[in-house]
Structure 1
C-alpha cells in the first residue's frame, strides 16, 4: 500500500513528492486578505455582469474595524486640539500691566493761624535732624533677594522707585514748573493713558487726580522759597506673589513756599506725606518701569474741602480758610477728607 501522503497516481515525473519545495510560494490567509486585488467568487461572476474577474480593494478595505476606530479617534482629537487652540483666549497674568491707580487725598487743616518761619534764609532750621536733603532723606535701602526675585531685581526696582520719588516729589520743574514728562517715562505703558488723563483733565474721582501721581503747586499762586526739599521716611520690600515684586514707600516732605506775588515775602513751611505702593512684574523690571497702584497723600496746612485734584492748595501766611465743610455742598466730592495738622516730627 502506498504512502497516504502521496497522490494516488504516484509522484509526478521529476518531482520529489515532498511539499517542502513549494512552501516558499504558498500564501497564508493574512497575506491573501491584505492583497489590494481580490478575485471575484464564482457566485459573483455568475450573478452580475462584471467586466473584470477581479476587484480592487481600497485602503479602508484593508483595515480592520479596530484600526478604523483608532484612526477616527486620532482625527477627532487633532481637530479638537486645533479648535480649542484657536478659539481659547490667551492666558492672562494675575497682575496686568495696566493696573489702575487708586488715590486718596487728605487736607491737613491747621488748628491755629499759619505763621511764617523765623529766618527765610534758613527755613528748615526748626525741623528735627532726621529730615535730610532731597534724595538722601528717602532712605533707600541696599536691597536683598526675596523668595522669587534676585538681589539684582530688587536693587533695580528700588532704583526706579527712588528716581520716581525724586522727579515726582523733589524736582522744582515738577513742583512749580508744570513738568510731567520725567515721571511719565517711569510709569509702565499700561498706566500711561490714566496718567495722561490725570494731567490733562484731573478730576476728584479717586483715579484721575494729578496730585496722586505728583506733588505740584499752582505756579500762579505759589513759588518755591528754596529749591531744597527736606525728606524723611522708609521703603519696605515684599512680594505680592511669585511674579510680582512690591515696594511700599512712606515719606514726609517739607517745602519752603511763598506767594507767587511776593518774591521777597514771608516763607511758610508746607508738609506732604506720601504713602505709595509700587508693583513690578518681570516685564516692568526689564523695561525699568513701575506700576503705581495706591497713593495716599496728606498735605497741609490746607483749607478743609479744597479741590486738590489738579494742584495742592497750601495756606500761606495771612491766608484765611473755612473752618468747616458744608455737607450740603454737592459740588465737592463726598470722599474729600480733612484732618487736623500737627507739628512736623521725625
Structure 2
C-alpha cells in the first residue's frame, strides 16, 4: 500500500491536479513582473501604517510616465507633419494645375512700316463736303461707325464671348489711335497708351519720346499723328472704311484691322482747333499753286494693324500690337514720318515725287527709299461719281 492514493473526495481545489491546471502554462517571468504598474505593500509595511493603501505604484511605472507623454508628443508631431505635408501638396498641385493658363512670356516688340505716298500733281482743294463727295470716300461711313465688328462665332479653344472681347478691344484701339481729335492733332498719347499691354508700354514711350524711322520706334505706327504746326482738321467727321478679322493661332487669338481713314485738313491757324498750337515743323508755309487759297484738302491713311490676344489679355482688356503697316498721302517722299505725318495741302506739289532712289551701298535705313506714288484715282476729282455719304 505504498503507492500514491487520491483523497476519497478527489484532489482538493487548488491542488496540483485541481481546477487551476488551465493557468499552469502561464509563467510570471521577470519582464511580466517588471511591467506591472502596482505593487503590494509587504506585511511589515502594512503593520507599520494601517491607513496606507494596500498597493503603491511601482517606481518603474513612475519612470514610464514621462515616456507615455513623450509618445503622445511624437504622435502629435507626426500628425502636424502629415497635415503640413498634405497642405503643401495641395498648394503645389494648385500651382502645377495643368488647366491653368500658361505663364505669359515677354511681349514681342512692335514691327512697323510707314510709307509716304507722293502725289503726281497738285493737291486738289475745296470745302470738305465737296471733297468727300467727289472722292472714293463718298461711300465710307463716318467715324467709329466705319470700324464695324464682323459676325462673332466661337473658335476651337475660345468662346464666343472671348472672341467678341478680342474684336472689341481691337476696335477700341483703332478708334482711339485713328479718330480721337486730341490724338490726331493735339499731341495726346494717353488714350492710346492705357489700352496697351503693360509689356509694350515701354516701347511705346520710347517711340513717343525719341521717334525713329527704324521699324520699331515710329510714333506714327502706334497712332495717327498729324503735324499740328502745319495742319488742323477742317472737319470733325472722318470717313472710314475697312474690316476686322479674327482667327485662332496657337493658344491665342489674332485680330487684323485693315482700314482707310480720310481726313479733311487745312493750314494750321485758319480756324479754332488744336492746330493753332505750334509744334514740329514750325515755320513751314504751304506751297503756292492752283487751289492754294482753298481751305481744305483730303489726307488718306491706310492702316493695317495686327493684334495678338492671350487669355490674360482678354481678361484684362489689354491690347498687344504686333505689326503695323501705314500708307499715307499726299506727302513729300523726303519727309520723316516717324514723329508726325505732314500732309501736303491744297495746291501743293510733292518736291521729290519720282526722284527718290534706293542706294544699295548705303548703310542703315534710308527714308528716301520708303516712298510710293499716290494714284490720281485716290484724289478728289469731279470725275468720281457722286454718291450719298453715310
TM-score (norm 2): 0.63
Counterpart of 1:159 (choices 161, 165, 168) is 168
RMSD: 4.0
Aligned equivalents of 2:19, 2:104: Cα separation in 1: 89
Counterpart of 1:321 (choices 346, 351, 354) is 351
- String of CA shifts for 1:28-60, please: whole Å, max 9, x gaps: xxxxxxxxxxxxxxxxxxxxxxxxxxxxxxxxx
State the Cα distance separating 1:170 from its structure 2 match.
Answer: 0.9
Aligned equivalents of 1:26, 1:104: Cα separation in 2: 101
Secondary structure, counterpart of 2:302 in structure 1: strand
Equivalent in the alignment of 2:71: none
Does the Cα contact within 8 Å between 2:356 and 2:369 map onto a contact in 1? no
- String of CA shifts for 1:150-179, please: whole Å, max 9, x gaps: 111122222211111111001111111001
Equivalent in the alignment of 2:25: 22
Equivalent in the alignment of 2:232: 223
State the Cα distance separating 1:94 from its structure 2 match.
Answer: 7.8
State the Cα distance separating 1:238 from its structure 2 match.
Answer: 0.5
Aligned equivalents of 1:109, 1:174: Cα separation in 2: 24
State the Cα distance separating 1:336 from its structure 2 match.
Answer: 5.0
Distance change in 2, residues 1:282/1:326 (3 Å): closer
Equivalent in the alignment of 1:114: 122
Distance change in 2, residues 1:255/1:330 (3 Å): farther
Equivalent in the alignment of 1:286: 315
Aligned equivalents of 1:98, 1:247: Cα separation in 2: 16
List runs of 5+ in structure 2 lacking aligned partners.
1-14, 30-84, 93-99, 272-292, 385-390
Aligned residues: 287
- Larger radius of gyration, structure 1 or 2? 2
Aligned equivalents of 2:28, 2:264: Cα separation in 1: 110
State the Cα distance separating 1:319 from its structure 2 match.
Answer: 4.1
Secondary structure, counterpart of 2:131 in structure 1: coil
Aligned equivalents of 1:332, 1:261: Cα separation in 2: 34
Matches within 5 A, 1:130-279: 130-242=139-251, 244-260=252-268, 262-263=270-271, 265-279=294-308
Aligned equivalents of 1:319, 1:223: Cα separation in 2: 19
TM-score (norm 1): 0.70
State the Cα distance separating 1:265 from its structure 2 match.
Answer: 4.4
Secondary structure, counterpart of 1:283 in structure 2: helix
Does the Cα contact within 8 Å between 2:116 and 2:372 map onto a contact in 1? yes
